[in-house]
Structure 1
Amino acid sequence: MTITKDNVVQFNYTLKDEKGEVLESNLDQDPIAYLHGHSNMMIGVEKAMEGKSAGESFSATLPAAETYGEKVEGAEQRVPVKHLVGATKVWKPGMTATVNTDQGQRLVTILKVGKFMATIDTNHPLAGRELTFEIEIKDVRDATHEEVAHGHAHGVGGHHH
C-alpha cells in the first residue's frame, strides 16, 4: 500500500542538521503515527512520504519553510520566569524552554533572564535551518472512520483518548 490521503503512517526517523550531526532520533522507540493528508505532519515530511510504502527507507533534505519555518527577526518577548517549563529551574541564555500559549505549547530559546522576567526568542530553535530527515516507514494502513473524523491517528505512536 502506498501512502495517500487518509492513511495512517507509522515511521521512525533521525533528524540531522546542515553538518550531518544528529539532532534527534526515535530509532529505539515506538514509531510515530500520523494521519496523512490532515496537516498533522510538517509539510515537507508529508510531501516526501507521499507515494512511499511500508519497509521503505529514504532521506529528505528540506528547506526551513517546509519544516519549522523561516526565522522571524525581532520575535522576542518578555515573559514571567514562572511560565518557563523545562528540566531546570536555573535558566541561562541559550537554553530552550517550553511556554504554554493560546495555540498550545511552544519551544522557545532564552535570550536573557532576570529574577522574575525572561526575554525569549519565540522562533522554534530549528527555524531558518535546512534539515535532513532519514525516515524508515514501518507501516501504512487505511485510517478508520473515527480517525478521519477526529483528524488524527489513534493507538501506538498516535493520539490516545
Structure 2
Amino acid sequence: MKELPVDKGTRVKLHFSLRMDDGDVIDSTFDKEPATLEIGDGNLPESFESLLMNMTAGDHDTFEVPPEKAFGQRNPNNLQTFKRHEFSADMVLEPGVVISFADASQSELPGVVVRVEGDEVEVDFNHPLAGRTLTFEVEILDVEPAKPTH
C-alpha cells in the first residue's frame, strides 16, 4: 500500500522546529511529544502547510522561509505613538514590555513598547517575527485520512 501523502483532508503527526536565521530556536517538538494537525485546521499557517504537501511518513526536510511566506515584512505603519497618560499610572512602560490592546473588532492585539521619551510611548504592533527569514525543519511521522472512513 502506497504511503498517503500530506494533502488537504489528512491528519499529520510530525516533529518540527522553527529557528531564526541566527539559529535561535523559536519552537520545536523534536525534544518532546510530536504535534498532530489536520491540514487546513489553522494550527499551522497556510504558507507552512504548503511546504508539507506531498511529503509522506518518514520524510525529513528543512526549508528556508522568507518573511513574505512567514510573518510578513515589518510595516512602519504598525509603529504607533501614544501619550503616557493614556496608560494606567501604575503600568510599567519600558522597551520590551508587551501590552495587550483591543483592535477595532475587540480582538486582542499585542504591542511591544519600543521607546519611552517624555510623555511619548512608542508601541510596535508588527509580529515579533516580521521581517525575519526562518528555518522550518520537519519530520513526518504519520499521515492518515482526517476523517475515518466506515
TM-score (norm 1): 0.68
Residue type at the aligned position of 2:96:
G
1:110 corresponding residue in structure 2? 113
2:94 corresponding residue in structure 1? 92
User: How far apart are residue 69 of structure 1 and its match?
Assistant: 1.2
Overall identity of the aligned pairs, in %: 28
Cα 1:105–1:35 change in 2 (3 A) is: farther
1:129 aligns with 2:124: no
1:22 corresponding residue in structure 2? 25
How far apart are the structure 1 equivalents of 2:122 and 2:9?
41
| Contact 1:43 1:67 (8 Å CA) reproduced | no
Name whichever of 35-44 and 13-22 sits farther off: 35-44
Cα 1:98–1:54 change in 2 (3 A) is: farther
| Structural mapping, 1:43-122, within 5 Å | 43-77=46-80, 78=82, 90=92, 92-96=94-98, 98-99=100-101, 101=103, 102=105, 104-112=107-115, 119-122=122-125
How far apart are the structure 2 equivalents of 1:10 and 1:107?
30
How far apart are the structure 1 equivalents of 2:121 and 2:61?
41
Match 1:144 to one of 125, 130, 147: 147
Q: Secondary structure at the match of 1:141?
A: strand
| Contact 2:16 2:30 (8 Å CA) reproduced | yes
Name whichever of 34-43 and 117-126 sits farther off: 34-43
Residue type at the aligned position of 1:93:
P
Compare CA radii of gyration and give the structure with the larger one. 2
How far apart are the structure 2 equivalents of 1:97 and 1:29?
30
Instruction: Give the gaps of 5 or more residues in structure 1.
Output: 83-88, 146-161
| Contact 1:13 1:134 (8 Å CA) reproduced | yes
Name whichever of 133-142 and 99-108 sits farther off: 99-108
TM-score (norm 2): 0.72
1:32 aligns with 2:28: no
Cα 1:40–1:24 change in 2 (3 A) is: closer
CA RMSD of aligned residues (A): 3.0
Question: How many pairs are equivalent?
Answer: 138
